[in-house]
Amino acid sequence: MKPSERFKRRYVSFALSLEGKPPAASDAKSLVHEHFLSFFGEIGIAALAFKLVKYDDKAGKGIVRCARDSVEETIFCMACASEWRGKACRMVSLSTSGTIKRVAD
């Protein structure tokens, strides 16, 4: 596949809290995937090229990958997170970049 045929990736860093505390890595993974799945559906996630790349459970921060054309939708979806399994949650986007190294700083 030629480089021009591949999708352009963007990385969005976020902060996640569940009832005011950073959730464990397994809970965070479930929360992010379930929220994006309920928001976009399976076809929407495929079009979004969504993937949870990294999550630090001590800091409550992580990185998701998406297609360059879908950055605004990804950030909007994060802002809409308010509840997960009966618990209050909050997902805030911190920064966006084309490389993991730059978004992690």
- Per-residue pLDDT of the chain (105 residues), as tens digits, is 787 777 889 999 999 999 889 999 999 999 999 999 999 999 989 888 889 999 998 999 999 999 999 999 999 999 998 998 999 999 999 999 999 999 987
Report the candidate in 90, 104, 97, 53 with the shortest Cα–Cα distance to residue 71.
Answer: 97
Please tell me the predicted confidence (pLDDT) of residue 104. 82
Give me the CATH code for the 3-104 domain, please: 3.30.70.3250
Please tell me the predicted confidence (pLDDT) of residue 52. 92
Please tell me the predicted confidence (pLDDT) of residue 3. 76
Residue 92 and residue 72: Cα distance in Å, rounded? 13
- Regarding pTM above 0.85, the answer is yes
Please tell me the predicted confidence (pLDDT) of residue 72. 94
Please tell me the predicted confidence (pLDDT) of residue 2. 81
Q: Which sequence spans correspond to the domains of the chain?
A: 3-104
SS3 breakdown of the chain: % helix, strand, coil, rounded to 5?
Answer: 40, 35, 25
Please tell me the predicted confidence (pLDDT) of residue 92. 94
